[in-house]
Amino acid sequence: MASFTYVFQISGIKTRTKKRKLVHGIQRLGGEYIGGSVFQSAVTHLIVPQVLSSEKFLAACAAGKWVVTPDYVLDSVRNGSWLEERPYEVAISPDKDKIFYPVRQWREKIARGSLTGAFQGWRVLLMVQDRSRRAMFKRLLKAGRAKVYRCPLPPHVAITHVMAKPVTENYKTHNAPCYPVTHIVQHLFGSHCADMNFNIKDDQPAEAKEAVDVVFSELETELREYVIKQEGQTRLFFPEFLGYHDPHCPRSQAVEADFSNVGTMIECGLFVEALDSIRSTLFPGLLPPASYLASLIEYALQGEATSFFLRNLQQVLHGLLMTNPPWLAPSTMKKYFSQVLQCPHCKTGLWPFLETAISYCLSSEDTCHPLPSLAQPTLLHFHSGILAFVLKLFQAELHSVTTGDSLLPQGGGVSQASASGSLLYSTFWTVWERSTLLSQPMKRLVQLLVQASVWEQAAMEEETERNARQKLRLVENLLDLLSVLVEFWCQKHFKLNQNMVEKSLKDLAEHIALICQDVSSVVLADLVVRIPSTRLKLVTADAIFRSLCCRNGLPVGDEPLSLRKMVMSYLPALGSLGGSPRRADLRDEPVSHSWTSQGTGSGNTPVSETSPGKENIPRGLNRVNAAGETLLHRACKRNQVETVLQILALPGTDVNVKDHAGWTPLHEACNHGSTACVEALLRHRPAPHLNSQVGGVSPLHDALLNGHLDIAKMLLEHAGSALLQQTDGLGRTALDLVSVTTQEELRRCAQVGNLALDHQMSEVRNLPLLEAGSSLLAHVIFTYQRERGLLGRMQPDNKAQSLGYKLARSLERHSLQRVTSGWADQRAVRLAEDAEVLLGLGRGNYMGQVPQAVRECEGENTRFLMEILEDLKSRGTALLADL
Q: At which of 699, 727, 757 does a domain end? A: 757
439 falls within a domain: no
Distance CA 472, CA 485 (A): 20
Selection from 820, 871, 874, 878 nearest residue 133 by Cα = 820
132 inside domain: yes
Is 574 a domain residue?
no
Q: Enter the DSSP assignment of 77.
A: H
- How many structural domains are present in the chain? 4
75 with 160, same domain? no
Domain boundary among 366, 394, 428: 428
From residue 616, alpha-carbon distances to 613, 619, 632, 645, 680 in Å are 6, 9, 15, 11, 18
* CATH classification of the domain holding 161: 3.40.50.10190
Q: Are residues 263 and 285 in the same domain?
A: yes
* Proportion of the chain above pLDDT 70, given as a percent: 81
Distance of CA 845 to the CA centre of its chain: 25
In a domain, 557, yes or no: no
Whole-model pTM over 0.85: no
| Structural domain contains residue 650 | yes
What's the pLDDT score for residue 208? 40
pLDDT computed for residue 781 by the predictor: 92
Instruction: State the Cα torsion 427-428-434-437 to the nearest 10°.
Output: -160
Consecutive H or E run containing 742? helix 740-760
Residues of the chain above pLDDT 90, percent: 14
In this predicted structure, the answer to whether residue 383 has a pLDDT above a threshold of 60 is yes
- The pLDDT of residue 718 is 84
Q: Which has more confidence, 773 or 605?
A: 773
The whole-angstrom separation of Cα 300 and Cα 73 is 92
Query: Is the pLDDT score of 611 beyond 50?
Result: no
pLDDT at residue 188, rounded to an integer: 84
Task: Give burial (CB, 10 Å; 0-12/13-18/19+) of 829.
Answer: buried
Residues 94 and 128 occupy one common structural domain:
no
Q: Residue 883 — pLDDT band, cuts 50, 70, 90?
A: low
The pLDDT of residue 213: 45
The tens digit of pLDDT for each residue in 442-456 reads 999 999 999 888 888
Q: CA 224, CA 166: separation in Å to the nearest integer?
A: 17
pLDDT for res 551: 78
**Which pLDDT band, with edges at 50, 70 and 90, does 205 fall under?**
very low
CB of 91 closer than 8 Å to CB of 101: yes
- Integer Cα distance of 323 and 317 in angstroms: 10
Span of 5-19, 226-240, 413-427 with lowest mean pLDDT: 413-427
| pLDDT-based confidence at residue 373 (cuts at 50, 70, 90) | low
Instruction: Beginning with the edge strand found earlier in the chain, give each strand of the sheet holding 178-180 in spatial order.
Output: 147-149, 123-128, 161-165, 178-180
Average pLDDT, the chain: 79
Assess whether 69 and 135 both reside in one domain.
Answer: no
Q: Is residue 537 part of a domain?
A: no
CA pair distance 2, 11, nearest whole angstrom? 27
From the list 564, 560, 587, 680, the residue with the least C-alpha distance to 632 is 680
Same domain, residue pair 385 and 419: yes
Query: Which DSSP category does 567 fall into?
Result: I
Stretch 338-351: mean pLDDT? 85
**Exposed/middle/buried for residue 246 (C-beta within 10 Å: 0-12, 13-18, 19+):** middle
Residues paired with 697 in a beta bridge: 694
- Identify the domain boundary among 85, 112, 139: 112
What lies within 8 Å, CB to CB, of 816 at 6+ separation is 832, 833, 836
What gap in Å lies between CA 125 and CA 146, rounded to an integer? 10
pLDDT at position 542, please? Answer: 93
Contacts of residues 110-113 at CB distance under 8 Å and 24 or more positions apart, as own/partner, are 110/63, 110/64, 111/64
Do strands 32-33 and 7-10 pair parallel, antiparallel, or not at all (unpaired)? parallel
First to last CA, the chain: 60
Residue-wise pLDDT for 553-586, tens only, equals: 676 766 788 888 888 888 888 887 887 666 543 3
Distance CA 534, CA 593 (A): 28
Quick one: pLDDT at residue 404?
Answer: 60
Could you write out the three-class secondary structure of 333-349?
HHHHHHHHCCCCCCCCC
Would you say residue 822 lies in a domain?
Answer: no
- What is the full DSSP assignment across 139-155? HHHHHTT-EEE-SSPPT
Is the predicted pLDDT of residue 97 greater than 70, yes or no? no
What is the reported pLDDT for 736? 84
Taking residues 613-628, report their average pLDDT.
73
Distance CA 691, CA 697 (A): 9
What lies within 8 Å, CB to CB, of 677 at 6+ separation is: 635, 636, 639, 640, 641, 644, 665, 669
CA–CA separation, 824 and 223 (whole Å): 12
Average pLDDT estimate for 373-401: 83
Residue 515: closest CA among 617, 438, 428, 608: 438
pLDDT band at 743; cut points 50, 70, 90: confident
Task: Summarize pLDDT for 759-815 with one digit per residue, the tens.
Answer: 655 677 788 888 999 999 999 999 998 888 765 544 444 555 677 788 888 888 777
469 and 384 Cβ atoms separated by less than 8 Å: no
Band (pLDDT 50/70/90 cuts) for residue 379 is: confident
Whether residue 141 sits in one domain with residue 91: no
Same domain membership, residue 104 and residue 134:
no
Average pLDDT of the residues in 726-733: 76
Structure confidence at residue 461 (pLDDT)? 63
* Residue pair 361/387 in contact by the 8 Å Cβ criterion: yes
Which pLDDT score, from 0 to 100, does residue 615 have? 52
Q: Tens digits of per-residue pLDDT, 663-685?
A: 899 999 999 999 999 998 888 87
- What pLDDT sits at residue 248? 46
Report the C-alpha gap between 713 and 146 in whole angstroms. 38
CATH code at 626? Answer: 1.25.40.20
Q: How many CA atoms lie within 13 A of 736 on its CB side?
A: 20
Q: Which range marks the domain in which residue 93 is found?
A: 7-112
How would you list the strands of the sheet with 45-47, edge to edge?
A: 32-33, 7-10, 45-47, 66-68
Residue 746 lies in a domain: yes
88 and 14 within one domain: yes
Cis bond upstream, residue 166 (ω within 30)? yes
Name 255's Cβ contacts closer than 8 Å, sequence gap at least 6.
none
Confidence (pLDDT) at 410: 39
> What's the confidence (pLDDT) of residue 462?
63
Q: How many CB atoms lie within 10 A of CB 258?
A: 8
The CA–CA distances, whole Å, from 784 to 357, 362, 377, 534, 635 equal: 35, 33, 42, 8, 42
Q: Are residues 150 and 274 in the same domain?
A: no
How far apart, in whole angstroms, are the C-alpha atoms of residue 676 and residue 681?
A: 9
* Residue range 448-494, pLDDT digits in tens: 999 888 888 777 666 554 554 455 588 899 999 999 999 999 888 87
* pLDDT attached to residue 588: 42
Helices (H), 232-286: 260-267, 271-279
One domain, residues 104 and 138: no
Same-domain status, 43 and 131: no
Phi, psi of 14, rounded to the nearest 5 degrees: -95, -25
pLDDT band per the 50, 70, 90 thresholds, residue 417: very low
3-state secondary structure 678-726: HHHHHHCCCCCCCCCCECCECHHHHHHHCCCHHHHHHHHHHHHHHHHHC
- My answer on whether 291 and 343 are in the same domain is yes
pLDDT of residue 604: 38
pLDDT interval class at 531 (50, 70, 90)? very high
Q: Give residue 128's identity as a one-letter amino acid code.
A: V
Contact (CB, 8 A) for 716 and 749:
yes
Q: Mean of the pLDDT values across residues 523-534?
A: 89
